[in-house]
Structure 1
Amino acid sequence: MNQKIRILAEQILVAMGIFIAFLLLFESKLMLPLWLQSAGRLHPLLLHFPIVLLVVALLMSFFENQFDAAGRLVVQQLSRTIYLTGVFLAGVTVVFGIFLSQEGGYAAEPLQGHKWTGSGLYFAGIGTYFLIYIRPISQTFARVASVFVVVGLIVTGHLGATLTHGEGYVLAPFQTKTLTTTVALEDAIVFEHVIQPILEQKCISCHNEDKQKGELLLVSQEALLKGGKSGKLFVAGNPEISLLLQRIHLPMNEKKHMPPTGKVQLTEEEKTLLALWIQAKANFKLKITDLPATDSLRLVASRLLSPATLPEERYAFEPADAQTLARLQTDYRTIAPLAVGSPAVAVNVYNQAQFSRKTLEELLEIQEQVVSLTLAKMPVTDADLDLIASFKNLRKLNLNFTEIAGTTLPKLSALPSLHTLTLTGTKVTFGQLAKNLPQLKSLKQVSVWDTDLTPQEQTKLQKLFPGISFALGFQEESAAPLQLNPPQVQNQTLVFNQKLPVKLMHPIRDVEIRYTTDGSEPDSLTSPVFKSLIITENTKLVARAFKKGWYGSSSVSFDFLKNSFQPDSLRLLYPLNRVHLAEGAHTFFDGKLGAIGANNPAWANFWAGARAQDMGVEARFDNPVTISSFGLHYMIEEDTGIFPPEWVEVWGGNDPEHVKLLMKLKPPMPAKGDSPTLKIAQGSCVPVSVKYLKIVARPLTAIPAWHRSKGNKALLLVDELFLN
């Protein structure tokens, strides 16, 4: 490296250290522009570069004595350049990390630990650089200092992993618990010994005290009952309308599918257990022996309570060639060994559009090793069962939500070890099952819920095959109709720019969704059936779900809101309440709408009183935009003192020195006892071209006399602003 460039870089290191110290000292007063918030999100990308460079440089300095004098000089110069670059990038990473921390949403303790160890690592890197390359000290001392830097990298990385993935993320593979327990059957409690271990294995890594994804905590009974940002986790006795089951049964490519893609997924048995427990009123004290001997929950749960000394299944076949397994892996087909060293593999197939019979034919190369095959939601038909029967060592076959009708089930009799068959959501009939199941001699468990089997047929099926455990689904003993849960919106955001194709869905098959856009209640006869809908203006869409044999769902409304202009830069004029920082100024144009509840992370919070506590935002545009209307989205919860703004002013012009009042809004106040709701204050003006906007909202300075907090200052919660 050129000496002048190196000296400049060394000076930048010191200057960056001063800048980082300044950020740490005055972090609470930072107000970041929009582009800097985006820069902060580069922190996870950047952090890998300095780690590699610092380790490489330190290793080079350790082994430089292995070279002759000329080689040693080259190594020293190269390691110095690499180390200098690594420390510089570490500094940039720290700065971006501090910016990222301003967005909130991270547990305080691991955030502080990661922030201070990362910052300390940067300063230690500067010190080590100067001790090794500027003021050389003894080689032993330099090596000790280098070791401390590497240890600092490990500690900082561990705290970062804890921050993003939860406590114990690094050691989790060595601490995996098994669902199988040695508790005596007569002492076993369904939740404690069956349900809770499932949550601990598959869910708590994202829903613990340190990482509450979706504001959902799963570490206690109270937390489970409370639910999260999207509402209650389950409705006791009603699995069909329970959010937990909706999320775990969503397709893998859905963003809201749980556990997320990349995490270990729930098995069909685990999904069944969760559903059956909720159907059994989600009783936290229920013992397994309290259930009838033929109860599905008791039968499935009992299998998990066998002694831990049961012999592990042995396989007589050899493992498949590693290169063959690697070649057969695709983006839509995973092949994984059942356990370390096991020759048996489990195959999962995804993406309906990519599936064909060839998908199965290609697996014939490893037909001997496949013991578990998951084809859920694939376009598999009865004609494909002859090919599936070629996997002669198959133990588990998942055909959930396929086109299987059961006419060729006898073909599976060629599978002597098949003990688990899941046919949930298929077209199988009682007649086909009664006729063909006797030919599957090894079958121990069959799942047939969400099929057309009547409750009477389900009961008859259990009597016909007492040696098979049937997961029969969610029918109540009385066979009384259940109410559908409301439709769901699949759009990533309800805020749009010019037009938006609306996406509605329902987790139960063959449900008809009807809707209105005039605010009226949809009915099952005259309201339009939802198929496709494109909106171009602010729209309140009200929807209900209907299905024969079910009670119609309650109505649900979605506010689709238009925002035509995105500011190029934003700045808060007055500080946010420290309790609700949301995403700073970026909050008002990030497309994230808040839900009822003051703790929803989308809300920015303001207190009434002095002008310094108003809501004030400056928005700038690089090129002029023509504004004719404005909207402000806010929450009302009068019982807790959350009121509309007293007034809203919108000022505009080409720069801060040349502005005029474009509009002033005075939203209506709620009445005593009004339900919590979300509202939008809207106003219009003569179209005007502006490059600068100033928006000020005054929180209510005196709560009405009818309120128990009369005369006190109100809260103002705002999530989005709209410019059209």
Structure 2
Amino acid sequence: MILLQNNGSWISFSGRMHPVLVHLPIGILVAAILLILLSQRPRWQRFQTAVPLLLLLACLSAVTSCITGYFLSKDGGYAENLLDTHFYLGISVAVSSGLFWICWRLLRRKPWLLILSGISMLLLITITGHYGGSLTHGDNYLSAAMPAALSRFASQPAKAAAPDYKDISDARIYEDLIQPVLNTRCVSCHSQQKLKGGLQLESLALMRKGGENGPVLKDSLPEESEIYKRILLQEEDEHRMPPKGKPSLSPAETELLHWWIANGAPADKKVKDIPKNVRVQAVLAAMQPAKTLDQLETVPASEVAAASESAIAALTAKGLKVLPVGANSHYLSVSAFTAGAFGDKDIQLLLPLKAQLIWLDLSGTQISDQSLETLGQLQQLTRLTLRGTPVKGDKLQQLSHCKQLMYLNLSETAVTDAAVVSLKQNKKLQQLYVNKTKVSAASVQQLATAITGLKIDTGGYRLPVLASDTIAYHKQMN
């Protein structure tokens, strides 16, 4: 991310005109070749008179582009082999266009040779432009955008391997978190193919080596590290990295980079090995890999037969949503989100699905304690939500038959201490929500003691009010 410092000179200024001038010979040559092809038809033969002038202008502009390209190469920061290939191809375009202009009168008498020469020029221009794009945008600039039909014929860079960790705390900080950011945002300009400022960021060793202006990384001092300082500059600043026009690091990526450098830029530590502030914890939480269906504790490991279509149809007719919990799974999730009228008289409709039903959300429905006995027969249930229902909990002990129950939401109901304590038979219960209920702190403590690892949310949490706040937030956990 180090740019060459330049005090200004005519050579440097001329070199930086190359990206502008290089398009002139391309456009002129394409126009000349197009006129050559059109002039082969009798009605367009008059266009032949413009071809010599176009070829002369193409030759002169190509020579000018080669000169400015040479000046630009003196700024450094480019892979020599790629630069040489592009440079000599550019000279070939200039020489070929000059020869084409000189031999125009001879070739005009042989249309097939004229057309063949034009097609050869187009191919030469295309190849030269490809190498030029590779110099500025990376060696896979063209191939990366190829459609599937063409990509099979082009060499593609190896795809990043999927994370080999299931928990973000086990991620390797540099390999799994930092290097992917550098690969995405920085390596296109700081690699062996394009060596801006003499800096390579393809490995930690190369990063520590630094570039033409010295090291870019100072362990434990992110504000003194060029690799971090440059990403904080204003977009208009010529030293900002990535430069204007290229995607910037996101706030989360910036926070990760700061955290890594502040902790000594370790090469072999995992997330769990170094301290984390609140901001980094939030970033890491968002990076936690999503669990696949077979990793979810609330989905049984064994498979089950498909449910009856008529039983599903009966629930759907009542307004309930019946969906599989995942692809290729017969286990079901039932939600009454749009079925507020669903009540005790309808609860029996769930029983035909008792082998497949594992997630049940009856929030806001009319079911009462009368339905708890039926719910107790759904012995595969792992998640049950009764939030905002008339349930008082008089028969909550019926849920003790649901031996697989891990999640239970009783928020905004009239359940009492005695009802909640009766849940101590549900030994697999991991999460219980009782905010906006009549449950006391003593009962919560008693139940937490009876079931190891149980987390009970009673709600009512408030965020601290800061002097700069203009809005007060009240958080209820559901």
TM-score by length of 1: 0.36
Candidates 45, 49, 58, aligned match of 2:33: 58
Cα distance, 1:253 vs structure 2: 2.1
Matched, 1:44 2:19: yes
For residues 309 and 52 of structure 1, the distance between their equivalents in structure 2, rounded to whole angstroms, comes to: 53
CA contact (8 A) 1:57 1:79 kept: yes
Matched, 1:235 2:218: yes
CA contact (8 A) 1:245 1:275 kept: yes
The 3-state SS of whatever aligns with 1:431 is coil
The 5 Å alignment of 1:646-685 reads none
CA contact (8 A) 2:33 2:118 kept: yes
Look up the match of 1:431.
Answer: 466
Candidates 177, 193, 199, aligned match of 1:216: 199
Look up the match of 1:133.
Answer: 105
From the superposition, tell whether residues 80 and 239 of structure 1 become closer, same or farther in structure 2 (CA, over 3 Å). Answer: same
For residues 245 and 194 of structure 1, the distance between their equivalents in structure 2, rounded to whole angstroms, comes to: 15
1:321-344: per-residue Cα shift (whole Å, max 9, x none)?
Answer: xxxxxxxxxxxxxxxxxxxxxxxx
For residues 148 and 167 of structure 1, the distance between their equivalents in structure 2, rounded to whole angstroms, comes to: 23
From the superposition, tell whether residues 243 and 429 of structure 1 become closer, same or farther in structure 2 (CA, over 3 Å). Answer: farther
Cα distance, 1:222 vs structure 2: 0.6
Q: Compare CA radii of gyration and give the structure with the larger one.
A: 2
Cα distance, 1:432 vs structure 2: 4.7
CA contact (8 A) 1:162 1:168 kept: yes
Q: Which amino acid aligns with 2:35?
A: M
The 5 Å alignment of 1:563-582 reads none
For residues 274 and 81 of structure 1, the distance between their equivalents in structure 2, rounded to whole angstroms, comes to: 56
From the superposition, tell whether residues 176 and 271 of structure 1 become closer, same or farther in structure 2 (CA, over 3 Å). Answer: farther
For structure 2, the residue ranges without an aligned partner over 5 or more in a row are: 1-8, 147-155, 294-462
For structure 1, the residue ranges without an aligned partner over 5 or more in a row are: 1-33, 311-427, 442-464, 468-724
For residues 308 and 170 of structure 1, the distance between their equivalents in structure 2, rounded to whole angstroms, comes to: 35
The 3-state SS of whatever aligns with 2:466 is helix
From the superposition, tell whether residues 129 and 201 of structure 1 become closer, same or farther in structure 2 (CA, over 3 Å). Answer: same
From the superposition, tell whether residues 36 and 302 of structure 1 become closer, same or farther in structure 2 (CA, over 3 Å). Answer: closer
CA contact (8 A) 2:78 2:196 kept: no
The 3-state SS of whatever aligns with 1:79 is helix
Look up the match of 1:392.
Answer: none
1:133-171: per-residue Cα shift (whole Å, max 9, x none)?
Answer: 334353223222211111111111222223334433344
Answer with 201-210 or 276-285: which moved more.
276-285
The 5 Å alignment of 1:29-40 reads 39-40=14-15
The 5 Å alignment of 1:326-475 reads 431-432=466-467, 438-439=473-474
CA contact (8 A) 2:40 2:111 kept: no
From the superposition, tell whether residues 430 and 243 of structure 1 become closer, same or farther in structure 2 (CA, over 3 Å). Answer: farther
Cα distance, 1:188 vs structure 2: 2.6
From the superposition, tell whether residues 229 and 300 of structure 1 become closer, same or farther in structure 2 (CA, over 3 Å). Answer: same
From the superposition, tell whether residues 103 and 192 of structure 1 become closer, same or farther in structure 2 (CA, over 3 Å). Answer: closer
Cα distance, 1:286 vs structure 2: 1.6
Matched, 1:86 2:58: yes
Q: Which amino acid aligns with 1:201?
A: T
Q: Which amino acid aligns with 2:185?
A: K
1:183-237: per-residue Cα shift (whole Å, max 9, x none)?
Answer: 3235531211111111011111111113222322101111112223444323223
Cα distance, 1:176 vs structure 2: 10
The 3-state SS of whatever aligns with 2:255 is helix
Candidates 159, 162, 172, aligned match of 2:131: 159
CA contact (8 A) 1:179 1:198 kept: no
Answer with 262-271 or 99-108: which moved more.
99-108
From the superposition, tell whether residues 81 and 295 of structure 1 become closer, same or farther in structure 2 (CA, over 3 Å). Answer: same
Cα distance, 1:49 vs structure 2: 1.1
CA contact (8 A) 1:194 1:304 kept: no
Cα RMSD after superposing both structures: 3.7
**Percent of aligned positions that are identical:** 29
For residues 15 and 470 of structure 2, the distance between their equivalents in structure 1, rounded to whole angstroms, comes to: 63
Q: Which amino acid aligns with 2:90?
A: G
For residues 296 and 37 of structure 1, the distance between their equivalents in structure 2, rounded to whole angstroms, comes to: 44
For residues 111 and 292 of structure 2, the distance between their equivalents in structure 1, rounded to whole angstroms, comes to: 56
For residues 308 and 60 of structure 1, the distance between their equivalents in structure 2, rounded to whole angstroms, comes to: 61
Cα distance, 1:53 vs structure 2: 0.6
For residues 166 and 236 of structure 2, the distance between their equivalents in structure 1, rounded to whole angstroms, comes to: 39
CA contact (8 A) 1:49 1:86 kept: yes
Q: Which amino acid aligns with 2:287?
A: L
1:89-139: per-residue Cα shift (whole Å, max 9, x none)?
Answer: 212322343454455554311221111111112222233334443343532
The 5 Å alignment of 1:542-557 reads none
From the superposition, tell whether residues 270 and 104 of structure 1 become closer, same or farther in structure 2 (CA, over 3 Å). Answer: closer
From the superposition, tell whether residues 41 and 189 of structure 1 become closer, same or farther in structure 2 (CA, over 3 Å). Answer: closer
The 3-state SS of whatever aligns with 2:189 is coil
From the superposition, tell whether residues 65 and 116 of structure 1 become closer, same or farther in structure 2 (CA, over 3 Å). Answer: same
Q: Which amino acid aligns with 1:77?
A: T
From the superposition, tell whether residues 217 and 167 of structure 1 become closer, same or farther in structure 2 (CA, over 3 Å). Answer: same
Cα distance, 1:307 vs structure 2: 4.3
1:11-41: per-residue Cα shift (whole Å, max 9, x none)?
Answer: xxxxxxxxxxxxxxxxxxxxxxx76665455
1:564-599: per-residue Cα shift (whole Å, max 9, x none)?
Answer: xxxxxxxxxxxxxxxxxxxxxxxxxxxxxxxxxxxx
The 5 Å alignment of 1:51-130 reads 51-68=26-43, 71-72=44-45, 74-102=46-74, 104-130=76-102
Larger helix fraction of residues: 2
Candidates 258, 271, 282, aligned match of 1:288: 271
CA contact (8 A) 1:121 1:152 kept: yes
1:279-331: per-residue Cα shift (whole Å, max 9, x none)?
Answer: 23211212234457987545523533524989xxxxxxxxxxxxxxxxxxxxx
Look up the match of 2:228.
Answer: 245
For residues 246 and 97 of structure 1, the distance between their equivalents in structure 2, rounded to whole angstroms, comes to: 31
Look up the match of 2:366.
Answer: none
From the superposition, tell whether residues 176 and 269 of structure 1 become closer, same or farther in structure 2 (CA, over 3 Å). Answer: farther
For residues 115 and 290 of structure 2, the distance between their equivalents in structure 1, rounded to whole angstroms, comes to: 53
CA contact (8 A) 1:180 1:308 kept: no
CA contact (8 A) 2:172 2:269 kept: yes
For residues 172 and 225 of structure 1, the distance between their equivalents in structure 2, rounded to whole angstroms, comes to: 29
Larger strand fraction of residues: 1
CA contact (8 A) 2:76 2:196 kept: no
The 5 Å alignment of 1:688-703 reads none
Q: Which amino acid aligns with 1:152?
A: L
Q: Say how many residue pairs are matched.
A: 290
For residues 305 and 84 of structure 1, the distance between their equivalents in structure 2, rounded to whole angstroms, comes to: 62
TM-score by length of 2: 0.52
The 3-state SS of whatever aligns with 1:214 is helix
Q: Which amino acid aligns with 1:118?
A: G
Look up the match of 2:165.
Answer: 184
Q: Which amino acid aligns with 1:183?
A: D
Cα distance, 1:178 vs structure 2: 10
